[in-house]
């Protein structure tokens, strides 16, 4: 009878443990900006595959600085660090897994072009940065594409090529060491560093 009682308790403990394990491992649906409440993870994966056609490996749904306001790190004023950019210049932020200049960032890069036109001896280094997601190799290439996109934009604004240098740091020089949307959004940027 004593052994039967131990056996029943052991089986009960195993059943309870398995039930906790099963409920803890259930697939959860996570909403992102690009995903409606009724959208399944399969549909979100389909969107990520569609993003892959932009010339890079899709690594998930896009997010932006505005979507990061729900993060526990966001403040009421939603102020963001301005990167490692020099003086009067401003960094330019990018969407996840993208290297094109966003419409809401054009004013920043236009301001940088204005500064360079008014300071004709200034030479800058455009430093491409990425968030921590993705492989080192992929992020180095993405950082280079981001830096070159900014360089091309400035060239089109009339800035001489000999005044513009580019470098990619990939994910190697994060500005913010968090693992959340706000941190990632701030690490996806081009910094504009005055060389002289």
61 pLDDT above the threshold of 70: no
Mean pLDDT of 49-55: 39
How far apart are the C-alpha atoms of 115 and 112, rounded to whole Å?
Answer: 5
57 pLDDT above the threshold of 90: no
Q: Please give the share of the chain, as a percent, with pLDDT higher than 90.
A: 54
C-alpha distances out from residue 150 to 32, 87, 101, 157, 189, Å: 28, 18, 7, 11, 10
130 pLDDT above the threshold of 50: yes
Name the residue among 97, 68, 62 with its Cα closest to residue 80. 68
Give me the chain's average pLDDT, please. 74
Q: Are strands 164-170 and 189-194 parallel, antiparallel or unpaired?
A: unpaired
Mean pLDDT of 107-118: 97
Q: Give the pLDDT of residue 27.
A: 39
pLDDT for 136-184, tens place per residue? 999 999 999 999 999 999 999 999 999 999 999 999 999 999 999 999 9
Position with higher pLDDT, 23 vs 110: 110
Q: Give the pLDDT of residue 172.
A: 96
Q: Give the pLDDT of residue 87.
A: 83
pLDDT for 23-36, tens place per residue? 444 433 333 344 43
Q: Give the pLDDT of residue 196.
A: 86
Burial 176-187 (b: 16+ CB within 10 A, else e): bebeebbbbbbb
Q: Give the pLDDT of residue 85.
A: 87
As assigned by CATH, the class of the 65-194 domain is alpha beta
């Amino acid at each position: 009878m004593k052994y039967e009682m131990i056996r029943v308790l052991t089986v009960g403990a195993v059943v309870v443990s398995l039930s906790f394990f099963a409920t803890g491992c259930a697939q959860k649906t996570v909403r992102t900006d690009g995903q409606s409440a009724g959208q399944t993870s399969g549909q979100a994966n389909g969107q990520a595959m569609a993003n892959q056609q932009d010339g890079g490996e899709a690594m998930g749904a896009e997010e932006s600085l505005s979507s990061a306001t729900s993060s526990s790190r966001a403040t009421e004023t939603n102020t963001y660090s301005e990167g490692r950019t020099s003086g009067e210049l401003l960094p330019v932020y990018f969407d996840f897994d993208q290297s094109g200049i966003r419409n809401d960032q054009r004013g920043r890069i236009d301001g940088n072009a204005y500064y360079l036109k008014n300071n004709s001896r200034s030479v800058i280094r455009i430093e491409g940065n990425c968030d921590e997601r993705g492989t080192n190799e992929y992020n180095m290439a993405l950082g280079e594409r981001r830096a070159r996109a900014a360089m091309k934009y400035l060239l089109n604004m009339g800035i001489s090529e000999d005044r513009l240098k580019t470098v990619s740091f990939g994910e190697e020089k994060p500005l913010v060491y968090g693992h959340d949307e706000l941190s990632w959004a701030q690490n996806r940027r081009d910094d504009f560093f005055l060389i002289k």
